[in-house]
Each structure stands twice: as structure tokens, then as C-alpha cells.
Amino acid sequence: MAASIAPLIEPTIVASTVANLFTATVATRIGAFSLMNPSASTETVTVYWVPEGGSPATGNIVTKKTLIAGEIYPIYAMIGQTLAPGDMLQAFGATGGLVNIFASGTLNS
């Protein structure tokens, strides 16, 4: 089995509606996963780990975090987790356009 380290979610601004940010095509282990609020406002972000064929729902929320201005928040609960092929990482912000999200990990093929 070959493994390669790669960005899973390039730094992306979280939208105000749920958006798919990453879909695993192979077993994928998360190594780093963070939110960053560079704005001057407070923002609440919800992140989902959605299984293949599923939809974002209360049962698959990874974190719901209110970030103050300038805060960086590592999502420790996801570090070391393995996504199965077809699993998705999705997120939205209460306001949208204020918070960056980014992740990296290992793709196993």
C-alpha cells in the first residue's frame, strides 16, 4: 500500500451554507485540521464528517465552535481519524466569509 502526505483542504473560506470541502477517494488519515478567524468579528462554524451517501446532520457534527477575532482552533478530535472512501468533510459558518478552514493528511492507496 502506498501512502502520500497531501493537503486535504487547501485554506478555504467557510461559506454561510453547508459546503463539501473534501471527499475521500481512498482511505485518508487526518494529520492536521484547523479553523482560523482572521476577521474582526466573532463567527460560529459547524464542521461535519459525513459518511458516504449521507447528509450533514446533528449526528455527524465534528465540532461547532464560536471563534473570536484572531483565534486559531485546531480540531483535535479529527487528528488521527481515518476517512473511508466516499466520506466527506463539510462545513458552514453562521455568517459565512469570515473563517478559514484547512486540513492535511495521508492518502493510502
| Nearest-angstrom CA–CA distance, 71 and 37 | 5
Q: Which cell numbers in the block locate residue 102?
A: 484547512
**Beta-bridge partner residues of 4:** 107
Answer yes or no: pTM beyond 0.85: yes
Burial label for 45, CB within 10 Å (0-12, 13-18, 19+), is buried
**Can you give the pLDDT of all 109 residues of the chain as single tens digits?**
689 999 999 999 999 999 999 999 999 999 999 999 999 999 999 999 999 999 999 999 999 999 999 999 999 999 999 999 999 999 999 999 999 999 999 999 8
Count CB neighbours of 64 within 10 A: 12
Q: Which cell numbers in the block locate residue 73?
A: 482552533
Query: In the chain, what are the domains?
Result: 3-108 (2.60.120.340)
Classify each residue of 94-106 as buried b or exposed e, where b means 16 or more C-beta atoms within 10 Å of its C-beta.
ebeebbbbbbebb
